Structure 1
Amino acid sequence: MGYLLLISFIIHGITLVIIRQLKIKIDQPAVTKQTLDQQKKEIEELLAVYLLEIREENDKLLEAINHKTETKSKVNTGSNDTQVQKPILSSTQQTTSTAKPETEKYQDYQPLLPKDEDEPVETSFAAQVLALADRGYSAEAIAKELNRGKTEVELLIKFHQR
């Protein structure tokens, strides 16, 4: 009876150790979740700060660009309009005058066409044997006509009859 009591205490001790280990494993995700939540909040705050800095820099850049364009437009308002229209007209006149010689240059162009020469098609030995067999020739006659062995012709016919 003493042995049974000793075995019972050992089993209870082992189960308590296992239960404690399982509780530790269950509690770990809760701790890691808290640390992840803290890290998430810190990252969100950092991103918000960076976003504000980028917006401020973009606003400054837009103001600088607008200021430069306003000063350039005030200086070049009258003279720019007439100068821009003249080159456009002259460039269109140039394209029409240069387009005609180019079309004349390629007027007699004829695209290359494939040659109509028929190359002789050689039929394979197997095709020749099967064609002659379909016409009713015997294996010996086919072998004589194609200058091949009788057994070679017979085997080829047998393979293709399947």
Structure 2
Amino acid sequence: MGFLLTVSFLIHGLSLFCIILLYMQVTKVKRIERLQEQNINKMEAVMGSYLAEFQEQNEQFLRQLQHRSTSLSSETKKNSEKLPLLDEENGPVQRVNLKSEPSESLHELLSIEESQKHRSTSFHELTTDQIQDLSGEEMKEFSVYLKKKGLTIEEIAKHLHRGKTEIELLLKFHQ
């Protein structure tokens, strides 16, 4: 019986030791969870402050952009009222009021169309270097002009030293 009592104490001691080890593991896991929760809260606070700062910068940028656009539009309005438009070849260009009666502005529209036809004929005189230096809008105008003359997309691409796909896109966007 003394033997069984000793074995029972040993088993109880071993059980108590296992319970203490398990308790230490549980407290360690709980401490790690608390640390993680604190880190998550800190990260949320930092991200919130970054987002607030980004939002403030965006709002400031939008205000500056709006201020610049209004100042630019007012400057262009003042300049357009003061200075007459000039065409490189023909001198001053007449302004057309699109809100006026069609019968009054028909003569003005015809004169503008004639000046544009005259400008289109100057495309014949362009050299290869000048063609490569054309801006996007001029490239579009020139490709539309060549298309109206009856050239195919491949021929236009060769004339402009551009790809067929680029010319196709220019013509599609023009339509």
Task: Give TM-score, length-normalised by structure 1.
Answer: 0.49
Task: Choose 1 or 2 for highest CA Rg.
Answer: 1
